[in-house]
Amino acid sequence: MPTLNLFRLKGGKASLKILSLDLKHGSVKLLVENPDDLWHLYNVISPGDLVYARTSRELKGRGEATRPGQSRRVSMTLGVRVKGVEFGGRGLRILGVVIEGPERYDGILGSHHTLNIPVNSVLRLVKEEWPEYQVKRLRRASEISGKPVVIVALDDEEACIALVGSFRMDVRFEHGVRLPGKRKPERRGEALKKYFSELLQALQEVLREVKAPVAVVGPGFIKEEFSKYAAEKLKEVSLQTFTVSSGGLSGVREAVRSGILLRFARESRLLEESKLVEEFLAELASDRGLATYGLEAVEKAARYGAVKRLLVVDRLLREAEVKERRKIEEVIKLVENKGGKITILAGGHEGGEKIMGFGGITAILRFKKDY
């Protein structure tokens, strides 16, 4: 089968692009390419940070910009010390005090200003210190997924299996079929069974070469039927279903264009988070003593090296006062230094909301808390 070399595949919407990363000086330059990127930035930018971005500002009646009694809006690049961050339908709003700007305009330094950050913006974010979990979040956001995705596109006439990564699409299997009509249920059922069997066999061959999640796409109910059929045979494989208008290679291409890769990565992440939350709840309900929650209890467990998996809701980090946030970040560092794993949960989804009920920070432990 042919290998199709494409422009960078982002499912029709590119991911956050890290233009430069200078952690020695606390500086990261970013290109925002879709609304999800704005959400990641909302959870990374904190009060006290510096943000540099292109903006506009109304200048009134003094300096070289205007004549007395007149005002006009002027485009410029400003550096703002962050006081607050707001996330909404129109983008990201960063509120703060101007600490750097064009010298030729009077009265700007020290004044309040709001940076509006829409999609396709470039900004530079500077922190005194970058917590490792925030760096990981940015790096994760800059990728679709750590692995390629296998797309299976099928309808009543054709099927295609392709391995899709960030920069290429490798078509592994194409198959034409002529299914009997629905008025002949017995013949159609037999033909459908054969069709699914051949498709599953081809899919298994691909999965033997590369371990990857599977997206089953197509129109109508046939994708749902195959997805159910495949799930019974591929119990260890992450498999999700999406709707496109056709099967075959055109269905694969439509899936890529329509943003499925980005959605797949996001939903796979949420599925992973949900499993971790359920694992915590199961441990909490058992008598094994391998779960704890609340900042004080989790900090104590972290100091003893007992934390195997730390779960922190992004909302807790975002809304905490500076002193509390620093304490949470210290706990995260402790867990990382002692070999534990950290997951920052999305507060707007069910798993994150459940953990918020336990104070927004919980831990699955390596050993029983008898300290």
CB 43 within 8 A of CB 313: no
Output the CA–CA distances (angstroms, integers) from residue 43 to 37, 68, 131, 313, 347, in the order listed: 10, 42, 12, 10, 10
Q: How many domains does the chain have?
A: 3
Whole-angstrom distance, CA of residue 336 vs CA of residue 309: 10
Check whether residue 219 and residue 301 sit in a common domain.
no
In a domain, 263, yes or no: no
Mean pLDDT in residue range 336-365:
91
Confidence of residue 8 (pLDDT cuts 50, 70, 90): very low
Whichever domain contains 230, its CATH number is 3.30.420.60
Of 100, 125, 141, at which residue does a domain stop? 141
Mean pLDDT in residue range 64-72:
60
Of 85, 113, 141, at which residue does a domain stop? 141
Check whether residue 136 and residue 186 sit in a common domain.
no
* 193: number of Cβ within 10 Å: 11
In a domain, 313, yes or no: yes
Check whether residue 153 and residue 251 sit in a common domain.
yes
The 10s digit of each residue's pLDDT in 275-325 is 899 999 999 999 899 999 999 999 999 999 999 999 999 889 888 888 898
**Residue 173 clears pLDDT 80, i.e. is over it:** yes
Please measure the distance between the N-terminal and C-terminal CA atoms of the chain and give it in whole angstroms.
60
Residue 43 lies in domain: 17-141
Output the CA–CA distances (angstroms, integers) from residue 45 to 40, 84, 92, in the order listed: 9, 9, 11
Q: Torsion over CA of 343, 146, 270 and 203, rounded to 10 degrees?
A: -140
Whole-angstrom distance, CA of residue 331 vs CA of residue 346: 19
Check whether residue 122 and residue 22 sit in a common domain.
yes
Whole-angstrom distance, CA of residue 22 vs CA of residue 354: 36
What does the pLDDT read at residue 146? 45
In a domain, 8, yes or no: no
CB 169 within 8 A of CB 6: yes
**Residue 10 clears pLDDT 70, i.e. is over it:** no
CB 92 within 8 A of CB 48: no
Of 86, 107, 141, at which residue does a domain stop? 141
Output the CA–CA distances (angstroms, integers) from residue 234 to 211, 214, 266, in the order listed: 12, 10, 21
Check whether residue 117 and residue 57 sit in a common domain.
yes
What does the pLDDT read at residue 88? 66
Check whether residue 194 and residue 123 sit in a common domain.
no
Beta strands 158-164; 149-154: pairing state: antiparallel
What residues contact 220, with CB distance under 8 A and at least 6 apart? Answer: 155, 156
What does the pLDDT read at residue 68? 57
Check whether residue 245 and residue 319 sit in a common domain.
no
- Model's pTM, two decimal places? 0.62
Whichever domain contains 37, its CATH number is 2.30.30.870
- Order the strands of the 361-365 sheet from edge to edge: 291-293, 361-365, 307-313, 341-345
DSSP run (H or E) holding 126: strand 122-126
Residue 347: is it exposed, middle or buried by C-beta count within 10 angstroms (0-12/13-18/19+)?
A: buried
Check whether residue 313 and residue 336 sit in a common domain.
yes
The 10s digit of each residue's pLDDT in 109-166 is 999 999 999 888 999 999 999 988 899 889 888 865 445 789 999 999 999 999 887 5
* 149: number of Cβ within 10 Å: 25
Check whether residue 135 and residue 159 sit in a common domain.
no
316: which 2 tokens?
């807790």
